[in-house]
Structure 1
């Protein structure tokens, strides 16, 4: 699993909107994001980068460095 945890979620849904593979969904009861499809995670870090409260942790054993194009 790439996304390790979501702690401190405020329910803004930014991570859900940013995920290209629909790994995260909003829990209708808690109104917070939850990891439903961890096997589909592409480790793109978009959920982590868009989270305004830094609530998402990516597993270190699965992470790849964020690559930024300079050209």
Structure 2
């Protein structure tokens, strides 16, 4: 599992919209993001990068630095 937790979620859905593998879904009861398919996470960091409140924590072994291509 790559995403360890989503704490402090404000329900903005930015992580859900940014996830290319549909790992995160909106809980209809709480109206907050939940990790639905952790085994499908590709560790792209998009959910973490787009979260406006820094609510997403990745497991320590998956927190590789993000490489940005400037070319």
TM-score, normalization by structure 2: 0.95
More helix by share: 2
Tell me, in whole angstroms, the C-alpha distance in 1 between the residues paired with 2:25 and 2:56. 13
Q: What is the root-mean-square deviation in Å for CA atoms of aligned residues?
A: 0.7
Moved over 4 A (4+): none
Match of 1:69 in 2: 69
Give 1:26 deviation, angstroms: 0.2
Tell me, in whole angstroms, the C-alpha distance in 2 between the residues paired with 1:28 and 1:46. 22
Q: Which consecutive unaligned segments of at least 5 residues does structure 1 have?
A: none
Give 1:36 deviation, angstroms: 0.5
Q: Which consecutive unaligned segments of at least 5 residues does structure 2 have?
A: none
Q: Secondary structure at the match of 2:62?
A: coil
Tell me, in whole angstroms, the C-alpha distance in 2 between the residues paired with 1:52 and 1:63. 18
Tell me, in whole angstroms, the C-alpha distance in 2 between the residues paired with 1:67 and 1:24. 23
TM-score, normalization by structure 1: 0.95
